[in-house]
Amino acid sequence: MGCFFSKHPSSGKVVLEKAGLALRYAFVSQRGYYPEDLNKDNQDAVCVYRRYGGNPDQLFFGVFDGHGQQGTSCAQFAKDQVPSMLLSSPRFSTDPVKAFREAMVECNEQLHASSIEDGLSGTTAIACLVRGQTIYVANVGDSRAVLAERVDGELIATPLSHDHTPFRKDECERVKKFGARIMTLDQLEGVKDPAVQCWSTEEEDDGDPPRLWAPNALYPGTAFTRSIGDSLAEQLGVTAEPEVATWTLSGDKTPLLVIASDGVFEFLRNEEVIKLASKYDDPQESAIALVAEAYRLWLEVETRTDDITAIVIRIEELDRNGEVGS
C-alpha cells in the first residue's frame, strides 16, 4: 500500500488547499514505567499518513493502545492493517463511516486468523480521517479524540469519541446480554457486595473500575467493552465495531485537536487536556507537555504509569494567497 499513502515523521505541516486549511501536527509516545518490568515494551502504536490515498487534502491519524501479553503485536497489527483496510473498502470514497466500521471489523477478524495469540490480548483504537474540512473519528475502546471549540472567545473541550467501558450504561447493558458479569476487583474478591453497583462515574473512579468477567470464570477482566482482538472477551459481547463521529473543521472555530491513548486521560479531564495543549503554539511542545504532565500525575497516585501517547493537531485558516492567516 506504500504507493497510496506515506508515513510522516513525528511532526510536520500539511496544507489542505481545497479546504483552505493548514494542519501542524506532532506526536509523542512515552513507554510506561513498570517497576516490576523495567524493560516492558511500549504497547502504544501511533501513525500519521499524509496524502492518504494519494489525495493531498486527506490525512490519517491513529493511536492504538495494546494490552495483554501480546498487546504490542496486536497494536502494531492494527496500526498497519486499519489504514490499509480502510483504503481498500469499496465504500471509502462515498461512505467513510461504513468504511471505517468494515475496516475495524475486518482487522479484528484478520487478527484472530493471524499467528498472534489474542485470546487475552488486543488493542483499543482511535482513528481519524481528515478529508478536506471534514473529520471522521472512529473509536473502539477508551482512547480519545478531543476537539477545542472556540465559543465566545473561550476554548471549550468537545469530545469526538466516547469511551467504551461499563461506566456507560448502554455498553454495560449490551455486554450483560452476552452473559458478562460486571464487577470491580473488590466485588470479585468479596470486599464489596457483588450484587450492589459500587461505581458511579469514570471521573470519580477510585482506581478499581468495573470489569467484564465470564459467568463462571475469572477472565477476561477487561475494563473496556470494545476492542480489536480479545477473542475470549468477544464471547461476552466485546466487539470491534467502532462508533464513528463526523465533524467540520475550521481554523477559527476549531483550532486544536488532541488524539491520545487513555494514559493521558486517566488523571486529566478533557477540559484540562485542551487547556494545557492550547498553551503552546508549537504542537510538539503541546504533545510533550501533555505526556509529561500525565506521567507526573500517574506517579503521584501510583507506583507505575501506563504507556502514554498524544497527537496534537493545530488547525489554521489559509488566506487568499494560500498562507496561514494572522
Structure letter (DSSP) for residue 195: T
Residue 169 to residue 160: CA distance in whole angstroms: 19
Biggest distance spanned by C-alpha atoms of the chain: 67
Q: pLDDT digits over 131-187, tens only?
A: 999 999 999 999 999 999 999 999 999 999 999 999 999 999 999 999 999 999 999
Q: Which domains does the chain have, with CATH numbers?
A: 6-164+237-317 (3.60.40.10), 169-223 (no CATH)
Backbone angles phi, psi at 213, to 5 degrees: -135, 145
Q: Take residue 150 and report the three cell numbers written for it.
A: 472556540
Q: pLDDT digits over 213-226, tens only?
A: 999 899 999 999 99
pLDDT confidence tier of residue 194, bands split at 50, 70 and 90: confident
Mean pLDDT of the chain: 94
Bridge partners, 316 (sequence order): 22
Backbone angles phi, psi at 159, to 5 degrees: -70, 135
pLDDT confidence tier of residue 129, bands split at 50, 70 and 90: very high
pLDDT of the residue at 199 = 86
Residue showing cell 501479553:
69
Residue 285 to residue 265: CA distance in whole angstroms: 18
pLDDT of the residue at 2 = 34
pLDDT of the residue at 89 = 96
Q: pLDDT digits over 17-71, tens only?
A: 999 999 999 999 999 999 999 999 999 999 999 999 999 999 999 999 999 999 9
CB 238 within 8 A of CB 83: no
Q: pLDDT digits over 83-103, tens only?
A: 999 999 999 999 999 999 999
Q: Take residue 145 and report the three cell numbers written for it.
A: 479524540
Residue 34 to residue 322: CA distance in whole angstroms: 47
Mean pLDDT of 245-256: 96
Strand order through the sheet with 308-317? 11-16, 21-30, 308-317, 256-260, 144-151, 154-159
This prediction's pTM? 0.94
Identify the CA nearest to 283 among candidates 313, 260, 318: 313
What are the start-end ranges of the H helices in 149-261? 169-176, 185-188, 231-234
Identify the CA nearest to 259 among candidates 80, 50, 44: 44
120 pLDDT higher than 70:
yes
- Output the DSSP codes for 35-56: TT-TT----EEEEEEESGGG-T
Residue showing cell 471505517:
100
Residue 194 to residue 181: CA distance in whole angstroms: 10
